[in-house]
Structure 1
Amino acid sequence: MKAVRVTSLDGPRALVVQDVPEPVPGDGEVLIDVHAAGVSFPDLLMTRGRYQRKPELPFSPGVEVAGTVRAAPPGTGLSSGDRVAAFVRVGGWAEVVAAPSEYTFRLPDAMSFRGGAGVVMNYMTAHLALARRARLRAGETVLVHGAAGGLGTASLQVAAALGARTIAVVSTADKAAFARAAGADEAVLAAGWLDGVRALTGERGVDVVADPVGGDRMLDSLRSLTREGRLLVLGFAEGRIPDIPANRLLLKNIDVIGVAWGHLVQEERGYPAEQWSDLLAYYEQGHLRPVDGAAFALDDAPAALARLDDRAATGKITLTVRP
């Protein structure tokens, strides 16, 4: 089979497409013919050896896929030909993958493979962040940084499903329009965003900030929170891990909350199935609408990661593995 491989930790330019043996599924694993694979920030970090998980070279990136079941173990409720999405941790940028059955989920008939390839990690991360970690309540206001990207649009939609008002922070007017189309109630530009948020909330501030960007925004994110607000730390796309001024937490009784879905589900392997049930309900209610970004062929994986790296992406970037 064909697979994208990282041959050295030199970033996207080190990616090559090679012929490799098909995987042999282990106990409890589902063999999947991949139609679409998600492109995510962990993939970019892994090509540079900067992610928490450091696979041995050479390896295939890719943590989420969608396709059809070739073979499934008994007791999973899955059978050959079923349309599924799956989380694979690593190795998803290939024509065939073996995925743990507890991380493999049947797709709704109306959801495309491209949409399915962007649901597992982004929407489950957003669900963990907002429903469980932030304890979001209906009527609260959620601010989302990087709101035009894959995790950003997922966060907007999950927040709306939970009954919250949403404010998107984006870098350009085009991205503001994109975020609104994805479900944001309001959008402000990153330049001067704090003043814009204060105006939108009548100086009250927001209840929750979902921040996958980090860097210089964190201090203003704390300033944007109302009393007993919660800041969700989802990543550091800006490239710098900021310091947290503890006095800001004390004065307004603020919580700073870490969110690491991949680590949590290693210990709670049944949790993703619970999340999938909630997400399917959101989908049926019309809240969950996967936002397709650019699509690239498997051979163009370096360009897909470059699009993510230069912060030009809107929606969920995917690789098309099969038509």
Structure 2
Amino acid sequence: MKAAIQTEFGDASVLKYADVDVPKIGKHEVLIKVAYTSVNYADIKQRKGNKGKGSFPLTLGLDAAGTIEKASADSSLAKGDRVIAFPRAGSYAEYVVANEQLVFKIPDTISLEQAATIPTVSILSDILLHEIGQVKKTDTIVIHSAAGGVGSMLLQLAKLVGVQKIIGTVGDLNKENYVKRLGADVVYTYDTFTEEVLKLTENLGANVIFDSVAGEVTDRSLKCLALYGTLVQYGNSSGKAGTIKTSDVHSSCKNVKGFSLGTTRKYDPARLAPVAEKVLKLFASNQITLPISQIFDLKDVAKAHKLIESRKYEGKVLIKI
């Protein structure tokens, strides 16, 4: 089968279109014929070696949309079932293997193309908003990187439940109209949001801030987080760690919560099934959608990575297998 692999860490040029063996399934696993996969910022970090690990040859990719090719006789899944999944060894390939707990059937009304936008960002966003952030309708919230995949979904989910004030931040105000269309009331840049949030809230601050950027953005977020507010930290696309001191949270009663979908897939996969079912219903009923920025062929995966790194996109970037 064809796959995109790399044999060393580096820039997008290390990604190669190659022939590899079709993987074998083990106990409680299924083989999936992939139609589409998505590119996530975590792929960029892993390609570069920022995560400090990787067994070569390495195939990147967190999620996939496709059809079941092979399943065990006692499986609840069967050949031909349309699914989304989190494969065990990358998704930039014609066939992938996934544990049944991380495979979810999709309704007939959702195309495989649209389905490919869903797994990572939609399941993550729902957990961040409702379980980790525990956002209430009366809250004022800030969503960093609001034009990205998770940001696009957080905006819609927050709007869907009637959150009172939704603030989006972006690196470039050219993305302002896109972010507002998805649900933001106001949009600021990373350079100005601290002062603007305080001004907008009469110095009370935001109740919940969703931070996937880290670095200086984390520091600035804490300065405009309300008393008893929650900073939800779930990434570091800036490449730098944010600094949090005990004095930042003690007397102010502020909370800092972290969450990783990757950790949850590994240690608590059963937690994801009810969330997947919920977001799939929202997509099937057209209550939410995720705009697709661009679709690349598998052999052009390096171009997809360059687009993600340029940050000149809105919504999801997909790879057609």
Same fold (TM over 0.5): yes
Aligned to 1:87: 86
Mapped contact 1:212–1:235 kept (Cα < 8 A) = yes
- Provide the rounded CA distance (Å) in 1 between the counterparts of 2:225 and 2:258: 16
Root mean square deviation, CA, Å:
1.8
- Aligned partner of 1:73: which letter? S
The CA deviation at 1:65 is 0.6
Aligned to 1:63: 62
Say if 2:203 is the partner of 1:207: no
> Per the alignment, in what secondary structure is the counterpart of residue 207 of structure 2?
strand
Give the share of equivalent positions with the same residue, in percent: 28
Q: How does 1:21-170 map to 2 (within 5 A)?
A: 21-51=21-51, 54-164=53-163, 165-170=165-170
Mapped contact 1:160–1:287 kept (Cα < 8 A) = no
- Provide the rounded CA distance (Å) in 1 between the counterparts of 2:275 and 2:137: 18
Aligned to 2:227: 227
Mapped contact 1:213–1:237 kept (Cα < 8 A) = yes
Residues 284 and 117 of structure 1, relative CA distance in 2, 3 Å threshold? closer
- Provide the rounded CA distance (Å) in 2 between the counterparts of 1:158 and 1:131: 9
The CA deviation at 1:137 is 2.2
Q: How does 1:163-312 map to 2 (within 5 A)?
A: 163-164=162-163, 165-283=165-283, 286-312=286-312
- Provide the rounded CA distance (Å) in 2 between the counterparts of 1:122 and 1:280: 12
> Per the alignment, in what secondary structure is the counterpart of residue 251 of structure 1?
coil
- Provide the rounded CA distance (Å) in 1 between the counterparts of 2:29 and 2:96: 10
The CA deviation at 1:118 is 2.3
> Per the alignment, in what secondary structure is the counterpart of residue 269 of structure 2?
coil
- Aligned partner of 2:37: which letter? A
Residues 115 and 300 of structure 1, relative CA distance in 2, 3 Å threshold? same
Mapped contact 1:62–1:89 kept (Cα < 8 A) = no
- Provide the rounded CA distance (Å) in 2 between the counterparts of 1:75 and 1:158: 36
- Provide the rounded CA distance (Å) in 2 between the counterparts of 1:184 and 1:74: 48
The CA deviation at 1:199 is 3.3
Unpaired segments ≥5 residues, structure 1: none
> Per the alignment, in what secondary structure is the counterpart of residue 270 of structure 1?
helix
- Provide the rounded CA distance (Å) in 2 between the counterparts of 1:282 and 1:138: 19
Mapped contact 1:64–1:89 kept (Cα < 8 A) = no
- Provide the rounded CA distance (Å) in 2 between the counterparts of 1:21 and 1:255: 47
The CA deviation at 1:281 is 4.1
TM-score (norm 1): 0.93
Moved more, 131-140 or 196-205: 196-205
The CA deviation at 1:74 is 4.1
- Provide the rounded CA distance (Å) in 2 between the counterparts of 1:38 and 1:262: 15
TM-score (norm 2): 0.93
- Provide the rounded CA distance (Å) in 1 between the counterparts of 2:76 and 2:201: 47
Residues 225 and 173 of structure 1, relative CA distance in 2, 3 Å threshold? same
- Provide the rounded CA distance (Å) in 2 between the counterparts of 1:102 and 1:157: 27
The CA deviation at 1:78 is 2.5
- Provide the rounded CA distance (Å) in 2 between the counterparts of 1:196 and 1:72: 53
- Provide the rounded CA distance (Å) in 2 between the counterparts of 1:58 and 1:160: 42
- Aligned partner of 1:51: which letter? K
- Aligned partner of 2:282: which letter? Y
Residues 79 and 19 of structure 1, relative CA distance in 2, 3 Å threshold? same
The CA deviation at 1:211 is 0.6
> Per the alignment, in what secondary structure is the counterpart of residue 288 of structure 2?
coil
Structure 1 runs (4+) deviating above 6 angstroms are: none
- Provide the rounded CA distance (Å) in 2 between the counterparts of 1:213 and 1:307: 18
> Per the alignment, in what secondary structure is the counterpart of residue 37 of structure 1?
strand
